[in-house]
Structure 1
Amino acid sequence: MTSAMIADENTLRQRIGRQEANRRAIRIWLGVVLATLFCLVLVGGATRLTDSGLSITEWKPIHGAIPPLTAAEWEEEFALYQRIPEYEQVNKGMTVEEFKKIFWWEWGHRLLARSIGLVFALPLLYFWISGRIERRLRLPLVGLLALGGFQGFIGWWMVSSGLAERVDVSQYRLATHLVTACLIFAGCTWIMRALAPHSDDPEPSHGARRFAAALAFLTLLQIYLGALVAGLDAGLAYNTWPLMDGALVPGDLFVQSPAWLNLFENAKTVQFVHRLGAYLLFAAAFVHMIQCLRQAPSTTHARRSVLLFVLVTIQAALGVTTLLLQVPLHAALAHQGGALVVLGFAVAHWRGFIGAYPPEVMIAERT
């Protein structure tokens, strides 16, 4: 090997080494984004559970970051709240001090939402300008940033549904808002896992990757169904398990017409379908685990399938506990947080079958 070839090889190794260091930095950044998203979703859940989501009746993306600072400003904010149906029909006679308790939940949720934009956008800009973002990552990361910006509009679209004729937000819009947040969470997890080291273990079976993908989609679907339950307060309607309204399959599931409307607007049907979704996800995770353990018990894929089943089992137990206790705040938030953990791990498990991105030598060195 000539000295020129050795020099070229050393240069290539240095570039790959720099790329690995860049990938570690990007993984740390995405980890911070995921942690912030996790907190944002939990605060959003608390806002919903404390009936605080309609306390701020205007959308001020910039000016709204500053809360009321004087007694006059609090009175002004409270006067705006007094105009909506929720105050008239639910909280009539509420004092300013009582209003502050629900205001701070919604304000905190919006502040976190603004913060996540900065936590994502500023490091992305820095990594991009400094040449640390690989070409294959540019479009996905910009797409996630755009989806995050659109999520702010979806949030206001959701809130606006409860300001005129309703005393709460539309369950359809609530589900859209939560699922969009979960898509951003899943996208960050996917990229973060793709940049991490992977094992060289063979795939347990030809269909294991597709099964893992199905588990991720089932988890997202179950989160959507859970959002419908929350939007209809269906978790407060039937608080027994395994029976529901005294039966394994309760009656009056399709009393509305057309029949499909019951899947979205009948509290009993929505809760029952959410239960069925939980049973399906539990069974699918169990079958996937057995499949992986039988075919390749010593691989990281099999160990991940066991952990995924454990997480799904814990999440199911949290769901039953939340139901039996009639949806107390802490149990409900644990259940919502558990859903994000299961989704994140399911997505990472699926991505683990594909393997890490191969090294990509930078087109141009930084000057």
Structure 2
Amino acid sequence: MSGKRSIFEEVSDDQKQSAAQPGLIDRGRGGARRGIRIWLMLLFAMVVAMIVVGGLTRLTDSGLSITEWRPITGAVPPMNEAEWQAEFDKYKQIDQWRIQNQWMELDDFKEIYWWEWGHRQLGRVIGLVWAIGFVGFLVARRIPAGWTGRLLLPGVLGGVQGAVGWWMVASGVTQGEGMTSVASYRLAVHLGLAFVILGFLAWYIYMLGRDERDLMQARRAKEARLFSLSTGLMHFAFLQILIGAMVAGIDAGRSYTDWPLIGGQLLPPDATVLEPMWRNFFESPGLVQFIHRCAGYLLLIFGVVVWLRGRNSAHPQTRFAFNAVFAALLLQVVLGIVTVVYGAPWQIAILHQLLAIVLWTLILRARFLTAYPIATSLRGA
């Protein structure tokens, strides 16, 4: 009968089975991973620039030139001589001008004003780039599943960073209190939050560089012990960054320029002369620099331990990542010593800060590869 079907019909040449479709786990979940990754890379580069410009603003003593926090109207700089003079008159009311910069004329003030204005303006541009990207991907429904909260986080932290920035500046905009710079611990919070934002951006960039299926498979090969060690190294490096910010906040890097001794002896002279005692850990140049040095030595020792463990990883790219971390750490220690010996000139000091960003990023990369190793075939090995 023509209506009957042969038991062999399913393997006949007349019909073809639909081909298997790999990657179903990513279907409907992938979103615009590549586009979002490029957007995050742009934000990452802008945050790096923000940190560098912030460092130069601090090194040129420009951070207190704008004495008001105007998130919207402050985007427009003075447009004529009358407006410039008004800004200069506001600056003349604070202690930094009265104690340190009475020699300044209007043209001198303009130089430091542009540094601080540029720093704040770059922050506004970063916020705008984040907002446009986030809203655009959200409206287009191109954000991968589970990523909306992650992509919202840098914007929220950026808003907090703006408030922290003014909280920092406000500590130096004083009258009659003798303050000529911002509080060092507030500077440390400000810089630390910038590195936190940078860390989230880097981690997301690493994750979006691989599809969900690859990450799920790689997670099964996680090197737990090495991940814990690299997490410890990350936290230790972050602590050293905070201490370095306090060094910069009180110009402690220029207080003692001998090495390996400090002030010609093992312990800095007059390290604990301030009262109450706790102030010395934030405001004593000798003690703060000494703490930064000791933390650097300990970080190097711990870095060696992590590096030796990382060399035993079964994955070549993970081993390479830890080699890169160790090389950057060694270079950073050497550059730190050079910075001290030469009295922290701005050219070397800003390079020291920039290398801290590189080291931070490399540590995050090595940590990521311990959590999501890249498998290598025997032939590739």
Q: Report the TM-score, using the length of structure 1 for normalisation.
A: 0.89
Aligned runs of 1:204-215 on 2, under 5 Å? 206-215=224-233
Aligned residue number for residue 56 of structure 1: 66
Q: Structure 2 counterpart of 1:28, which letter?
A: I
Q: Comparing both chains, which one has the higher relative contact order based on Cα–Cα distances under 8 Å and sequence gaps of 6 or more?
A: 1
| Structure possessing the higher radius of gyration over alpha carbons | 2
| Aligned-pair CA distance for 1:348 | 2.1
Aligned residue number for residue 351 of structure 1: 368
Q: How many residues align?
A: 354
Q: Structure 1 counterpart of 2:234, which letter?
A: A
What 5-or-longer segments of structure 1 have no aligned partner?
A: 357-367
Aligned residue number for residue 234 of structure 1: 252
- Of the three residues 156, 164, 167, the one matched with 2:180 is 167
Using the alignment, how far apart are the partners of 1:196 and 1:28 within structure 2? 10
| Aligned-pair CA distance for 1:290 | 1.4
Matched, 1:136 2:154: no
Using the alignment, how far apart are the partners of 1:23 and 1:57 within structure 2? 42
Aligned runs of 1:336-347 on 2, under 5 Å? 336-347=353-364
Using the alignment, how far apart are the partners of 1:272 and 1:331 within structure 2? 19
Aligned residue number for residue 341 of structure 2: 324
User: What secondary structure does 2:357 align onto?
Assistant: helix
Please give the per-residue CA displacement for 1:167-218, whole angstroms capped at 9, x wherever unaligned. 1111111111110111111111111112223795996964111011111111
User: What secondary structure does 2:147 align onto?
Assistant: helix
Q: 1:261 and 1:88, CA in 2 relative to 1: closer, same or farther beyond 3 A?
A: closer
Using the alignment, how far apart are the partners of 1:243 and 1:203 within structure 2? 46
Using the alignment, how far apart are the partners of 1:272 and 1:221 within structure 2? 15
Q: Check the 8 A contact 2:31/2:145 in 1, yes or no.
A: no
- Of the three residues 106, 113, 121, the one matched with 2:123 is 113
| Aligned-pair CA distance for 1:249 | 3.5
Aligned residue number for residue 298 of structure 2: 280
What 5-or-longer segments of structure 2 have no aligned partner?
A: 1-9, 374-381
Matched, 1:189 2:202: yes
User: What secondary structure does 2:324 align onto?
Assistant: helix
Identity of aligned residues (%): 37
Q: Check the 8 A contact 1:204/1:301 in 2, yes or no.
A: no
| Aligned-pair CA distance for 1:354 | 1.6
Q: Structure 2 counterpart of 1:185, which letter?
A: L
Please give the per-residue CA displacement for 1:264-295, whole angstroms capped at 9, x wherever unaligned. 222111111111111112112222111222x2
Q: Structure 2 counterpart of 1:103, which letter?
A: Y
Using the alignment, how far apart are the partners of 2:29 and 2:318 within structure 1? 26
Larger CA deviation: 107-116 vs 19-28: 19-28
Using the alignment, how far apart are the partners of 1:204 and 1:144 within structure 2? 26
User: What secondary structure does 2:371 align onto?
Assistant: coil
Using the alignment, how far apart are the partners of 2:345 and 2:18 within structure 1? 66
Q: Check the 8 A contact 1:204/1:302 in 2, yes or no.
A: no
Using the alignment, how far apart are the partners of 1:19 and 1:251 within structure 2? 61
Is the helix fraction higher in 1 or 2? 1
Q: Check the 8 A contact 1:222/1:278 in 2, yes or no.
A: yes
Q: Check the 8 A contact 1:41/1:181 in 2, yes or no.
A: yes
Q: Check the 8 A contact 1:43/1:109 in 2, yes or no.
A: yes
Aligned residue number for residue 265 of structure 1: 283
Using the alignment, how far apart are the partners of 1:232 and 1:5 within structure 2? 73
Larger CA deviation: 131-140 vs 66-75: 131-140
Q: Check the 8 A contact 2:31/2:144 in 1, yes or no.
A: no
Please give the per-residue CA displacement for 1:276-316, whole angstroms capped at 9, x wherever unaligned. 111112112222111222x2366211111100000111111
User: What secondary structure does 1:136 align onto?
Assistant: coil
Q: CA RMSD in A?
A: 2.7
Aligned residue number for residue 376 of structure 2: none
Using the alignment, how far apart are the partners of 1:355 and 1:132 within structure 2? 24
User: What secondary structure does 2:237 align onto?
Assistant: helix
